[in-house]
Amino acid sequence: MIASALFANGIHVFGYHKKDGSAQGMFCANGQCGQCLVIVDGIPVKSCITKIKEGMDVRSLEGLPELTKDDSPIKKQKEIPIIKTEVLIVGGGPAGLSAALELAKKKKKCIICDDKHRLGGKLSLQTHNFFGSIKDCYAGSRGMDIGNILSSDIKKQKSLEIWLNSPVVGIFSDKKVGILKDNKYYIVKPKVLLISTGAREKNLAFPGADLPGIYGAGAFQTLVNRDLIKPTDKLFILGGGNVGLIAAYHALQAGIDVLGLAEALPKIGGYKVHLDKIKRLGVPIFTSHTILKAKGKNHLKSLVLAKIDKNFKPIKGTEKEFTADTLLIAVGLTPVDELKEQAEKFGIKTYLAGDADMIAEASAAMVSGKIVALEILNDMGINVKIPKELKELLKIFRGKTGADKGLFPIPKEKDVYPVIRCSQEIPCNPCTEVCRLASIKIKDNSMMKRPKFSGDCIGCLRCVAICPGLAITLVDKRVDKSKKKAHVIIPWEMPEGTIKEGEKLKTTGFQGELIGKGKVINIKKSKWQNKRSLVTLEVAYKDADLVAGIRIREPKIDFRKVKDVDDDNTIICRCERVTKKEIKDYIKRTKSRDVNAIKAALRVGMGPCGGKTCTELIMKIFKEMGIDESEVKSPTNRPFNQEIPIKSFIKGKDKK
């Protein structure tokens, strides 16, 4: 994409806003906002979703672009094709693909449309190993590989029609759906509509949040994991859910220094195994903290971090500033479900699957897609059974993370054994499925309980290689009869050259605490994990059970003191550059409770994003002002819900 090509060449500022000259850069990398607009061959486009082509004339957007001159003859409106299908699936991610495969088993005619150029959704950005079970959601495999597996299976199904580069742009009262396929407009009339559009990232508002260098974790994963671009050398992360924790790990894998991670809650909300693995590498964690301000002129230069109280209010005197050129915002997701509202209003039989229904992991989305497809088949008169265990599995995957119950005792009588540091109840069991001696078990075969080792071990390392949380090491005490040294084999996924054979390094424990020193004996590629190595460390005999990882950076930040921060000039609407103060003043002055009125008066939500990034922030302002959400009228959603070129509706030169 153009945006990625610009980043690859060190260009992070794509233009300057017509209203105040502010620098504009990438934010979502998903076509949801309008911050990455550039002029291509005289036409403004979103650079994050526009492919580069040889000979393109790409220019920065400064002010309003002039309309291109067109001397061609007047063009006539063409007939818009109307296509009928039994099921229209909107979104080709894990939920949509899993649903399509179930429908294909019954030869149901389906169209799968997705706004991207390839199937798989966010799976293509996910290089980490999945949790869950091997049988139900390919646990132990990487998200990008799972996306390829599902896509390959989809392409084999004759009853499925795949429409890529095909966003749904509107749903209408005659129960028809408008789709922009390869920049040509089509109308599809489905009997059933399945919306599996996933989720978009939530946004935060603070002074400077709109600076280039501040973007969502999904945008970062797009650059690093999909396009293999290193966009920065140092970054900070805001948000301690799984998305933020995984982004921190992905950054370290890309050779990027992670200065730290802040979370507003007193406790990290993501999986503990994700937290532990970045702490072991040396990333500092700041709970009950938030970002108060970002500083910089045309790009982020520094951040102001502060501690917050139980009411999430900044505590005066705790503000501290530090240098950073990139901030990843990973503060949660919101279902992309606008189409559901339109479809149900006009009486189209509509279903939701995956994150469009409920935010959870991609493993839950796959199971959700299967279940919803079976529901659709039943509603269409085809009697199929929905397995009870499938519903139970979805409940587990969508449920809350279990408690941290500590570790099981480490066997003392053995010379070779795995140490399993999976202390939290999370839905995962691949280690039990690969153990050759069935020595790793989960009580009652419940996926949500902790795995326990008991029995014999032959040191095959399969459990170490497959664990998605990198939570298993293998201890081998047979190497030194004098019991002064022992070997510990750890899973390793950092860049080649980060550590070297023969090097002595700092070893870390379960939760990142320093243990001692370890010598790298060898680094071997895992035979059946293409991105994971197995590193043998020689450590002190007494430390063998404690060593869980290697520290590759020192967990410290150079802070400096800073004064209080005022947030009234915070930009809320990025597209139209409307501030928090302007919105608050309008609400106070008019007593309005209607977002549509604010939109009409201040142009909030009238830019290229169509209110996707600012509407939620406006609702927060009402809440801050003590106005109950039930009093507030939400903005009216009308088609088209994204930009459509006029040429999509017209034909070329009249042949007569």
* pLDDT at residue 78, rounded to an integer: 64
Amino acid at site 472: I
**Range 121-150 average pLDDT:** 89
The rounded distance, in Å, linking the Cα atoms of 135 and 401 is 21
When pLDDT is cut at 50, 70 and 90, the band that residue 559 belongs to is: very high
When pLDDT is cut at 50, 70 and 90, the band that residue 566 belongs to is: low
* pLDDT at residue 75, rounded to an integer: 58
Residue 302 predicted with pLDDT over 50: yes
Spell out where 551-615 has E strands.
560-561, 571-573, 578-579
* pLDDT at residue 654, rounded to an integer: 43
* pLDDT at residue 413, rounded to an integer: 86
Residue 79 predicted with pLDDT over 80: no
397-421: pLDDT as tens digits: 998 888 889 999 998 889 999 999 9
**Range 441-455 average pLDDT:** 89
The rounded distance, in Å, linking the Cα atoms of 208 and 147 is 36
When pLDDT is cut at 50, 70 and 90, the band that residue 267 belongs to is: very high
When pLDDT is cut at 50, 70 and 90, the band that residue 81 belongs to is: confident
* pLDDT at residue 651, rounded to an integer: 58
Contacts of 413 by beta carbon, 8 Å cutoff, 6+ apart:
none
String of DSSP letters for 112-155: EE-SSSSSSGGGGG--SBP-B-HHHH-TTSBHHHHHHHHHHHHH
Residue 655 predicted with pLDDT over 60: no
The full set of domains in the chain, from first to last, is 1-68 (no CATH), 88-199+336-398 (3.50.50.60), 416-550 (no CATH), 568-656 (no CATH)
Q: What is the pTM of this model?
A: 0.91
Q: The dihedral of CA 364, 370, 374, 380: what is its sign?
A: positive
The rounded distance, in Å, linking the Cα atoms of 575 and 35 is 7
152-187: pLDDT as tens digits: 999 999 999 999 999 999 999 999 999 999 888 899
When pLDDT is cut at 50, 70 and 90, the band that residue 314 belongs to is: very high
| Percentage, residues of the chain above pLDDT 70 | 95
Q: Give the mean pLDDT of the chain.
A: 91
DSSP lists the bridge partners of residue 523 as: 535
DSSP conformation class of 389: H
DSSP conformation class of 443: G
| Burial class, 412, CB count within 10 angstroms (exposed 0-12 / middle 13-18 / buried 19+) | exposed
* pLDDT at residue 656, rounded to an integer: 37
